[in-house]
Each structure stands twice: as structure tokens, then as C-alpha cells.
Amino acid sequence: MTEQAQKIKTEAISAIEAACDENALEEARVKFLGKKSPLNALAAGMKDLSPEEKPKLGAALNEARQSITTALEARKQSLQDAADSASVENLDITMPARELPQGSLHPLTIVKDRAIQILRRLGFALAEGPEIETEFHCFDALNTPADHPARNDSDTFYFDSGKLLRTHTSSVQIRTMEKQDPPIKIIAPGSAYRRDEIDATHLSVFNQLEGLYVNKDVRLSDLKGTLEYFYRAMFGDKTEVRFRPHFFPFTEPSFEIDVKLQVKGEEPKWIEVAGCGMVDPAVFGSINESRGDNAFDPATTTGYAFGMGLDRLAMIQYGIKDIRLLIENDTRFLSQFS
């Protein structure tokens, strides 16, 4: 009987080795290790054996089962390996991979981030306010009278509710002073909207960066020094900066700032880049009224404010001739700035 076990084992192993797929292998498993296997049949005869024979047969059966199991596992693995290598047979692993298109920052974002970086070094914190504004925050609190041309329906986008799309980021000056006490030193980059005729230098949406510093004893020289430093950091050490007297309702005195620059491929010339001035005491008056205190006492509180066009900066920096390119999302244009 021990020889029979041996024979069954040999037969099983050759059947397993001949199995050419998983189904054939499973059939062999059922045949040789299943309930009705010849080994089980042999085991059933064990009870008729003598006490000396029994353990011998037992050992032979165990050894046969063990060997069959090992052979099954080995065959299963080799079938799997063959399937794996067949599935990658025609794969050329030396072929170059398909390139994923790499994104890049928008030129406006690059310029805005640089401007923020420079101004944060000077101690300005970031502030923000809503783009849908009240007339109070956009105009009245900024000392802009009801008959000011900027408030015309033809210049500003109004909603039926009476709110409007902010025409400048100066409204963030008001928003900030309403909730913070002096000293205040903030910048507020963001979008602004005007009903402009669209052409190469005008869009109905554009981007500004507002600055506000309020404290005791803030002087015009602080404003000049800060902005000169800023534009030199932005455009180079030798950049000339000019302050031209101007008028804004919310600053007194007021200036426009020109920077002498060479737009790529052109002669150097003065380019207007910002408006600025010393905060008009009337603005502090409106803030106190709105807050119901005297935290911005016009007798002792001073400050400066500036507002620069970011689209303009990006156009100068990169020699972009048409502002509309900044909003068209044409990747052929945008990918040049990566």
C-alpha cells in the first residue's frame, strides 16, 4: 500500500506538471487532493492494517499529500509568471513617456506675488474686501461727493440693490479702518471694475494693489521713500521715480507716480504707474462716524495711501502690448511666462 501511495504521488505530480492553465490545475487538485482522491481511498483501507503497517502507510500518505501540495503551488506560480510575461511581451519599456503639459503662473500672478513680497518686507500686512461694494465704502467714506463723475452710471457697474462693482481697491482702506485701530499698515491686491471702452489698454476689469499706512506722524517723505524703494526693487536700482501733483478726493496732497522705464523694444519713457497721497482728514472723519468713536482723531492721526495698477506692471515687465491677452486664457500666450 505504501508503494501505491508512491505511485499516486508520481502520477499526480506529472498531471500537475502537464496542466497548461488554471482550470487544468484545479482539476488535478480536485482529483488528487479532493474528497474522492485515490489517497483518501487508500486511507479508508488503513483500518484493516496491522499495527506495524498503519503508521507506515500514514507517513506515506502524508508525504504524498505534502509533495502534491508543493507541486500544485509551484505550478500555479509558474503559470502566473508565464501569464505576466506574456502580458508585457510587446511593451517597449524604452519608449519615451508621453509628456504631461506643465502649467505656469499667469504673468499677473507673477507680478502680484513679487509686489506683495517686496511690500511685506516693508511690514505691510495683507488685507481684503468685497468686490461688490456699497456706495459708502467705494465713494462716500472716501470723500467722493455724489456728483463726482466716477459715480456716473456710465462709469460704474451698479446693481439694482444700489451696490456696485468696486471701481478701485481704495474701498479696502475703509473696510480696514472700520475694524482695526491705528497703527495700520496694509496692502490689498484685487480686482476693480469700470465701464471702460475695451481696447488694447482698457478692460472693464483690471487689477490694483492698494496700500495704506496710518499712524501718528506719517509724512509725505515716508510715502516717497516707500514707493521709490518699491519701484526700484521691482524694476532695478537705477529706476527713476517721479511724483506729479494730482487730485484724488480722498488724499491731500495727491500725486500720480511715473516711473522712467524701457518697455522691451522701445526708448525709455515716463510711464504712469500709480496714484497716491496723504490720507485726507475728511476720510478719518467718516471712519470715526461709521465706527462711533474717535480712534482716527484727525488732529493727531496721519497716513498715506497708494493704489497701483497691476496689469500695467505686468505689461511693462513683459512688454505685453495688448491688455486683452491677460484675460483670454490662450495657453500659447500664457506658457511663455513659465
Binding site for ligand PHE (CB under 6 A): 168, 170, 248, 251, 275-277, 305-307
Asked if residue 68 lies in contact with residue 13, where contact means CB atoms within 8 angstroms, the answer is yes
Rounded to the nearest whole angstrom, what is the least distance from the CB of residue 161 to ligand PHE in the complex? Answer: 23
Asked if residue 314 lies in contact with residue 230, where contact means CB atoms within 8 angstroms, the answer is no
Rounded to the nearest whole angstrom, what is the least distance from the CB of residue 322 to ligand PHE in the complex? Answer: 21
- The residue (of 169 and 317) whose beta carbon lies closer to ligand PHE is 169
Rounded to the nearest whole angstrom, what is the least distance from the CB of residue 233 to ligand PHE in the complex? Answer: 20
Cα separation values, 104 from 238, 311, 319, 332, 333, Å: 30, 18, 18, 11, 11
- For residue 195, with 0-12 CB atoms within 10 Å meaning exposed, 13-18 middle and 19 or more buried, which class applies? middle
- The residue (of 37 and 171) whose beta carbon lies closer to ligand PHE is 171
- The residue (of 129 and 307) whose beta carbon lies closer to ligand PHE is 307
- The residue (of 11 and 256) whose beta carbon lies closer to ligand PHE is 256
- The residue (of 58 and 249) whose beta carbon lies closer to ligand PHE is 249
Rounded to the nearest whole angstrom, what is the least distance from the CB of residue 170 to ligand PHE in the complex? Answer: 4
Asked if residue 187 lies in contact with residue 213, where contact means CB atoms within 8 angstroms, the answer is no
Residue nearest to ligand PHE (CB): 307
Cβ atoms within 10 Å, residue 81:
10
Rounded to the nearest whole angstrom, what is the least distance from the CB of residue 309 to ligand PHE in the complex? Answer: 8
- The residue (of 168 and 175) whose beta carbon lies closer to ligand PHE is 168
- The residue (of 30 and 270) whose beta carbon lies closer to ligand PHE is 270
260 SS3 class: strand
Rounded to the nearest whole angstrom, what is the least distance from the CB of residue 180 to ligand PHE in the complex? Answer: 17
Residues with Cβ within 8 Å of 242's Cβ and at least 6 positions away in sequence, in order, are 257, 258, 259, 260, 270
E-assigned strand segments in 251-300:
251-261, 269-279
Q: What is the DSSP string of 147-197?
A: T-GGGSTTTS-B-TTS-EE-SSTTHHHHHHHHH-PSSEEEEEEEEEE--PP
What would the grid cell of residue 315 be?
505689461
Asked if residue 252 lies in contact with residue 277, where contact means CB atoms within 8 angstroms, the answer is yes
208 forms beta bridges with 190, 309
Rounded to the nearest whole angstrom, what is the least distance from the CB of residue 338 to ligand PHE in the complex? Answer: 31
Q: What is the DSSP string of 206-223?
A: EEEEEEEEEEES--HHHH
Rounded to the nearest whole angstrom, what is the least distance from the CB of residue 336 to ligand PHE in the complex? Answer: 29
What is the pairing mode between strands 125-126 and 184-193?
Answer: parallel
- The residue (of 16 and 280) whose beta carbon lies closer to ligand PHE is 280
- The residue (of 13 and 192) whose beta carbon lies closer to ligand PHE is 192
Rounded to the nearest whole angstrom, what is the least distance from the CB of residue 101 to ligand PHE in the complex? Answer: 37
